[in-house]
Structures are given as structure tokens and as C-alpha cells.
């Protein structure tokens, strides 16, 4: 299998995991504050990854902690702020709304692919980018219109989400540079561990001891989601272009909306469903078609 195909598969897996993420985070926000949720996500991911490294006796992986590069510190801070901003956005608004605005991050990453990494874009891929952009606009048209004129908590949540998306784009650019010198395991082990320490002082650990089995299952899922999604993202950035990765992961809101609709259909009221119109469905098909054009690179 070619490196490009490997990168595409890793990016698709990341998009799949992130499609579930917003819904589970909204559920977690009902019994934990944002800081504690972010701390738990990073801590669980770090513990599992560290245990895996020690089990496989890959002690050289831990060398990254002796003299980490400044770029890695900056990437860690950016991802930490992304997690907190996104969590605040979900808490103050809704999973669907946050999934819309957080796509600001992948869009910035796509632009960085051309500006920072000097990646070339073929004519067919350029057309696919336009198709995806039109589809993206149609799909989210109603939600974007709803944002106009909103006040208070909703605006605060939107600003937090956009801030989180910006921080994620900076992290992704730095990560793509770092994976050329360090393994993804080294990078993620450092990021998870240091990020957990960053949020430890702001976390309410006593609340974790009061969780039920179901609530603990939700928290553990969030930690595993962090471990698997960002491990796959790092591999995707290693094997394929940044703009290809960015367009694939922008598909994850479609899965989120589908899951919200499915939950509503079967009578689960854990999270309020998002309404889809005919125009939204047409837009979704446009996003998918554009993504296929960009990934394939040919007719």
C-alpha cells in the first residue's frame, strides 16, 4: 500500500472517531466541568500509551522528555487550548453547532498546506475543493444564519470554538514538521503527559471519585478517543498532504448529524437532535463529492 493511501486511511479513522466525540463530550459536560474533562482525556491517553511503550520495552521513546524541542512545547500548549476551547463550545452551545465552527481548524490547515508546505494542487483537486466548499456552505447555511443576532452564552461558546479551531491548526502544522524527526508515539506521549499536567491544577478531582459506572465508561471512552484519533492524525500527516488530511476530517460533522438524527429516531434524548433540510442534504453530498475529487487527484 502506498504512503498516500495509508495517510488517507488514517485520516478517515480520525474523522470517524471525531464524529462520535462531540456527542459524548456533551453528555460528559452534564456531570463534569470542562477542565476536568480535558484533564481526564489527556491523563487516560497518557497512561495507556505509556503502559504500551513500557510493555514493548521501547524505553528509547522516553528520551523525548530529556530534551524536548521548543516546537513540541508550543504544539502541546496549542492542543491543550484546542481541547479546552472545543469543550467550552460544546458545553455552551450544542454538538452540531460546535462541529460546524471547529471546521475552521481544518480549513486553516488546508490553507497552510499550500502556504507553509508549498503543496501543489492539481486542476481536478482544485475543482473538488470548490465543490466541497459550496457543499459545506449549503450544508451549514441554516446553522450559520442562526448564529446571526445571537447573544450571551451562544456567542461566547462560538468564540471559544473558533479559538479552539485556530489553536488546532497551529498544532497540526507543528505536528507535521515534528513527525519528520520524531516518532508519533514519542510526540503523543509527551503531549498527553504535559497537557495533563497543565490542566491538573484547574481540575476538580473529587468529582471523578463520585462518578457512576456509566459515567466512568464515558470518561474512559473520551480518553481512548484522544489516544486513537490523534495517533491516527499524526500518522496521516506523516504519510500524506496536509490539505488532503484537512478535507477528510471535515467530513466528521456529517457523521455527528447522522448519529444525532438516529438517536432522535430511536427515542434517545441524551442530546438534542439537529434538524436537516433538503438543502443541507444536497450540501452534504457536495462535501462528500468534493472530498473524493481531492483525494483521488484525477477524474
- Other C-beta atoms lying within 10 Å of the C-beta of residue 24: 18
Band (pLDDT 50/70/90 cuts) for residue 278 is: confident
Alpha helices, H only, 140-212:
141-147, 153-178, 184-199, 205-208
298 pLDDT above the threshold of 60: no
Residue carrying C-alpha cell 456531570: 31
- Domain span at residue 218? 3-296
SS3 93: coil
Number of domains in the chain: 1
Q: Give the contacts of 75 (CB within 8 A, at least 6 positions apart).
A: 170, 171, 174, 175, 178, 187, 191
**Rounded Cα–Cα distance for residues 128 and 295 (Å):** 9
CA distance 121 to 294: 9
- Per-residue pLDDT of 5-21, as tens digits, reads 888 899 999 988 988 88
pLDDT digits over 17-40, tens only? 988 888 899 899 889 999 999 999
Q: Which three cell numbers stand for residue 53?
A: 511503550
Amino acid at each position: 500500500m502506498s504512503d498516500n493511501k495509508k495517510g488517507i486511511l488514517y485520516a478517515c479513522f480520525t474523522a470517524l472517531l471525531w464524529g462520535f466525540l462531540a456527542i459524548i463530550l456533551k453528555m460528559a459536560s452534564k456531570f463534569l466541568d470542562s477542565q476536568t474533562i480535558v484533564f481526564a482525556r489527556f491523563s487516560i491517553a497518557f497512561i495507556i500509551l505509556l503502559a504500551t511503550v513500557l510493555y514493548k520495552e521501547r524505553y528509547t521513546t522516553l528520551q523525548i522528555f530529556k530534551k524536548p524541542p521548543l516546537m513540541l512545547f508550543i504544539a502541546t500548549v496549542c492542543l491543550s487550548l484546542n481541547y479546552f476551547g472545543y469543550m467550552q463550545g460544546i458545553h455552551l452551545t450544542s454538538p452540531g453547532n460546535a462541529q460546524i465552527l471547529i471546521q475552521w481548524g481544518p480549513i486553516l490547515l488546508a490553507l497552510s498546506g499550500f502556504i507553509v508546505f508549498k503543496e501543489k494542487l492539481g486542476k481536478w483537486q482544485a475543482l473538488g475543493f470548490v465543490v466541497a466548499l459550496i457543499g459545506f456552505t449549503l450544508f451549514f447555511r441554516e446553522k450559520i444564519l442562526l448564529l446571526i443576532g445571537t447573544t450571551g452564552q451562544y456567542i461566547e461558546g462560538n468564540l471559544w470554538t473558533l479559538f479552539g479551531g485556530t489553536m488546532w491548526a497551529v498544532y497540526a502544522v507543528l505536528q507535521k514538521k515534528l513527525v519528520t524527526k520524531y516518532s508519533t508515539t514519542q510526540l503523543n506521549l509527551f503531549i498527553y503527559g504535559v497537557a495533563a499536567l497543565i490542566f491538573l491544577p484547574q481540575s476538580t478531582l473529587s468529582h471523578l471519585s463520585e462518578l457512576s459506572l456509566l459515567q466512568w465508561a464515558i470518561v474512559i471512552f473520551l480518553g481512548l478517543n484522544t489516544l486513537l484519533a490523534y495517533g491516527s492524525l499524526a500518522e496521516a500527516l506523516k504519510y500524506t498532504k496536509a490539505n488532503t488530511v484537512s478535507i477528510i476530517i471535515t467530513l466528521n460533522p456529517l457523521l455527528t448529524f447522522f448519529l444525532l438524527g438516529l438517536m432522535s429516531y430511536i427515542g434517545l434524548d441524551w442530546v438534542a437532535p439537529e434538524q436537516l433540510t433538503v438543502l443541507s442534504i444536497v450540501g452534504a453530498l457536495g462535501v462528500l463529492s468534493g472530498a473524493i475529487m481531492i483525494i483521488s487527484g484525477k477524474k
